[in-house]
């Protein structure tokens, strides 16, 4: 059995990790931490976990934590993990980090959009945890930077098409929508019921910090710089995320060519489902699952390809993908604990 611990277990992503890991056939969840709820059973914080996990939230102590776990999930706000992860690694613990701290290979990009990085040498060694595209690197990784939710939808849809020369790198536009849980459990005016209910609006139109993460991976896949227009929207739903991405087909390429590339890329991937021609992804069909559903449509008049990608932002967009990363790192069935 793999001994797992969660640092930051009482946010939405932390609670999803508790739910999945406490029922995982190959995992013993041994410790969960929370500063706010130290001393409280997790079932008091989330009554839905009653009878499923009776662990008590603890304050984080590096030495005692490392003594009890093989792998750590850091479900913390950006900046905090970079101060914790070096100590975990010295204690012999492997890490899946759900913040942005270890997603970037180019530390300068991270620092431009977040804050100064205090563990840049680890950032350069970390593996980007997009499971379907980086399995081989993830297997041996000591630190995995779990991807952001929006990047997961966009990159799974576009990376194979860029690599295969199906779409042009110029002029990519992603119109992306997220449920309110993507904002986290902390209180904010925009996530109040009366503000979000019956509302549908764009936000951070002048630049969302998931954009440089998306562009770094697309650029690596393309072999040259790729810039996209990325506009996120908030929808009045608790969970779910849909990206509708507009691309230009390379001359001579068709929707059928794109469909063939995606089918070949993800044929052996249990959590990516390519929708049949004429059917489109729906967040309702991926809620509470680790699936990413991808659909295609084309406009022959303008040579445009429309790629649609839907996930549950808390699962494939966060905690589900983190467990999938752990499964790969441990040599387990990729689906373990996720169905």
Each residue's pLDDT tens digit, 78-99: 999 999 999 999 999 999 999 9
Q: Are 155 and 316 in contact (CB under 8 A)?
A: no
Q: What is the pLDDT of residues 325-336, one digit of tens each?
A: 999 999 999 999
What pLDDT is stored for residue 196 in this prediction?
A: 82
- Positive or negative: CA dihedral 194, 197, 203, 208: positive
Alpha-carbon distances, residue 220 vs 11, 160, 189, 229 (angstroms): 32, 12, 37, 18
Encoding tokens for residue 260?
């063939």
Cβ atoms of 246 and 172 within 8 Å: the answer is: yes
More confident: 181 or 50: 50
Q: Which residues contact 83 (CB under 8 A, 6 or more apart)?
A: 118, 119
**Would residue 131 show up in a list of annotated catalytic residues for this protein?**
no
pLDDT (mean) for 258-266: 98
Asked if 246 and 173 count as a contact pair (C-beta separation under 8 A), the reply is yes
Q: Give residues with Cβ within 8 angstroms of 326, minimum separation 6.
A: 2, 4, 27, 71, 73, 96, 332
Position 268 confidence tier, pLDDT thresholds 50, 70, 90 = very high
Q: Per the residue annotation, which of 149, 194, 247, 292 is the catalytic one?
A: 149
Per-residue pLDDT band at 32 (split at 50, 70, 90): very high
Q: What is the mean pLDDT of residues 213-236?
A: 96
Query: Is residue 207 pLDDT above 70, yes or no?
Result: yes
Would you say residue 197 has pLDDT above 80? yes
The residue among 196 and 159 whose pLDDT is bigger is 159
Residue 124 has pLDDT above 90, yes or no: no
Can you give the pTM of this predicted structure?
A: 0.96
DSSP single-letter state for residue 317: I
- Mean residue pLDDT of the chain comes to 95
Give pLDDT, residue 187: 63
- Is pLDDT at 189 greater than 80 in this prediction? no
Is the pLDDT at 182 greater than 90, yes or no?
Answer: no
Asked if the model's pLDDT at residue 194 lies above 90, the reply is: no
Secondary structure class of 233 (helix, strand, coil): strand
Percentage, residues of the chain above pLDDT 70: 99
Backbone torsion region of residue 39, taken as left when φ is above 0, otherwise alpha when ψ lies between -120 and 50, otherwise beta: left
199 — pLDDT class (breaks 50, 70, 90): confident
Give the chain's domains with CATH numbers.
2-125 (3.40.50.720), 150-313 (3.30.360.10)
């Amino acid at each position: 059995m793999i001994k797992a611990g969660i640092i930051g277990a009482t946010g939405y992503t932390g609670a999803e990790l508790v739910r999945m890991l406490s029922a995982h056939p190959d995992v013993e969840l041994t410790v969960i931490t929370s500063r706010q709820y130290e001393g409280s059973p997790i079932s008091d914080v989330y009554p839905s976990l009653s009878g499923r996990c009776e662990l008590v939230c603890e304050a984080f102590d590096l030495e005692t934590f490392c003594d009890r776990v093989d792998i750590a999930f850091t479900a913390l706000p950006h900046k905090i993990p970079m101060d914790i992860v070096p100590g975990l690694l010295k204690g012999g613990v492997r890490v899946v980090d759900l913040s942005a701290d270890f997603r970037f290979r180019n530390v300068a990009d991270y620092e431009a959009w977040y804050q100064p990085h205090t563990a840049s040498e680890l950032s350069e060694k970390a593996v980007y945890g997009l499971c379907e595209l980086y399995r081989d690197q993830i297997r041996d990784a000591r630190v995995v930077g779990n991807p952001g939710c929006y990047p997961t939808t966009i990159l799974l849809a576009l990376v194979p098409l860029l690599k295969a020369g199906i779409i042009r790198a110029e002029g990519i536009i992603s119109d992306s929508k997220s449920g309110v849980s993507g904002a986290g459990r902390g209180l904010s005016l925009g996530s109040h019921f009366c503000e979000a209910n019956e509302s549908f609006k764009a936000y951070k139109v002048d630049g969302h910090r998931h954009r440089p993460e998306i562009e770094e991976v697309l650029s690596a896949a393309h072999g040259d710089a790729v810039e996209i227009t990325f506009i996120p929207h908030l929808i009045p739903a608790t969970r779910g995320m849909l990206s509708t991405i507009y691309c230009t087909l390379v001359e001579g390429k068709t929707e059928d060519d794109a469909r063939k590339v995606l089918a070949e890329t993800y044929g052996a991937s249990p959590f990516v489902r390519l929708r049949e021609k004429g059917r489109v992804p729906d967040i309702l069909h991926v809620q509470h699952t680790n699936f990413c559903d991808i659909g295609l449509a084309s406009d022959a008049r303008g040579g445009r390809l429309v790629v649609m990608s839907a996930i549950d932002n808390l699962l494939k967009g966060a905690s589900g993908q983190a467990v999938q990363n752990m499964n790969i790192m441990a040599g387990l069935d990729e689906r373990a604990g996720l169905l």
